[in-house]
């Protein structure tokens, strides 16, 4: 599942184990897919059961470095 955070407002992820809202933990950039798109892996932590999960997020690339 890809989320485009610049055009969508996503509701908080729900923990599949305890159904509580998960909190953002960190992000890690993955490889560039297209010239104008970068994928980032966003990690989320459940404060209740400490489960860690991730989602891929498509980010618009800035000017070339």
What pLDDT digit, counting tens, does each position of 46-65 carry? 999 999 988 887 777 665 54
Q: Mean pLDDT across the stretch 18-23?
A: 90
Q: 3-37 burial by CB neighbour count: b if 16+ within 10 A, else e?
A: beeeeeeeeebebeeeeeebeeeeeeeeeeeeeee
Domain assignment present for residue 65? The answer is no
Whole-structure pTM value: 0.62
pLDDT at 48: 92
Domain assignment present for residue 47? The answer is yes
| Domain count for the chain | 1
Containing structural domain, residue 14: 2-60
Mind listing the pLDDT tens digit for each residue in 26-38?
888 777 666 677 7
* CATH, residue 55: 2.20.25
């Amino acid at each position: 599942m890809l989320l485009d955070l610049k055009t969508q407002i996503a509701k908080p992820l729900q923990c599949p184990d305890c159904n509580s809202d998960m909190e953002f933990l960190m992000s890690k950039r993955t490889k560039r897919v297209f010239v104008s798109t970068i994928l980032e892996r966003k990690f989320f932590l459940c404060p209740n059961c400490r489960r860690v999960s991730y989602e891929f997020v498509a980010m618009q690339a800035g000017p070339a470095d």
